[in-house]
Amino acid sequence: MLSNSYQRQVVEAIKGVESHTDAVVIAVVAQKADNYLYISTLWAAFLALLLSPLLQFLPWWINFQQAFMIQWIFFIALAILFRWRRITMKLVPRKIKYWRASNLARRQFLEQELHSTRNQLGLLIFVCEAEQYVEILADRGLAQQITNENWQAIVETFIREIKRGKAGEALLQCIALCGELLHDVAPASKVKDGLPNHLILLS
C-alpha cells in the first residue's frame, strides 16, 4: 500500500505534526484485518452442496463414489479459488470486515500504548487496505475537545482517495489535517511525551 518513499514521508510528516503539538500520533497500516478463511471455506462448502441435485444428471456409468469424488474435487477447487484475496473480500459481508478491522484498530491503540500518554493525548490513524477501512482513535484528552464529526470528515476524504488508488497521498493529507486540529487544542509545550514508533506496518 505504501512505497518506501511514502513510508519515509509519513514518518517525517508525523514528526512534523508532533513538533507543534503535545499529542502523540501513530499511524498503523495493515494489509488485512483477517484472512477470513472460515468464510471462504463455508462458501465453497455451500456451493459444493448445491451441486448435489445436478449429479443425478451424470451419465449412468458414473457410480455414487465417483459422483462423491466429483463433488469433493469441486469443493477443494472452490476453497482454493476463494482464498484469492480479491475474491475473498467480495464474499465477506461489509459488516464483518469493518467489525474485524475496528477490533484490530483498538488492539493497536492499546499495544502502541497510546492510552498511557501524558494528559491522554494519544491519536491513532488506522488504515486497513483489504477492507478499505480507515479509523481515527483519539484518547480522552483529545476526544473531549475535538468532535467525532471532525475526525469523520477526515476519514471520509481518506477513504475516497484510497478507492482512487491514492493511498500514500491520502495518508499524508490525513496527517496534515489531523495536525491542524491537534495544534489548536494541544499546542506544543516544553514537556514532550513522544513514543518511538510513528508508522507501524502490519502484514
Same domain, residue pair 182 and 122: yes
Q: pLDDT tens, position by position, for the chain (203 residues)?
A: 788 899 999 999 999 999 899 999 999 999 999 999 999 999 999 998 887 776 666 665 566 677 778 888 999 999 999 999 889 999 999 999 999 999 999 999 999 999 988 889 999 999 998 898 999 999 999 999 999 999 999 999 998 888 888 888 999 999 999 999 999 998 888 666 666 678 999 98
Residues 81 and 109 in one domain: no
Give, as one character, the DSSP assignment of residue 92.
S
Residues 82 and 150 in one domain: no
Hey, what amino acid is at 121? L
Spatial separation of the C-alpha atoms in residues 43 and 38, rounded to whole Å? 9
Question: Number of folded domains in the chain?
Answer: 2
Q: Answer for the pair 12, 168: CB distance below 8 angstroms, yes or no.
A: no
Residues 148 and 66 in one domain: no
Do residue 22 and residue 41 come from a single domain?
no
Residue 132: how many other CB atoms lie within 10 Å: 17
Q: Are residues 150 and 113 in the same domain?
A: yes
Q: Which domain holds residue 16?
A: 4-34+93-202
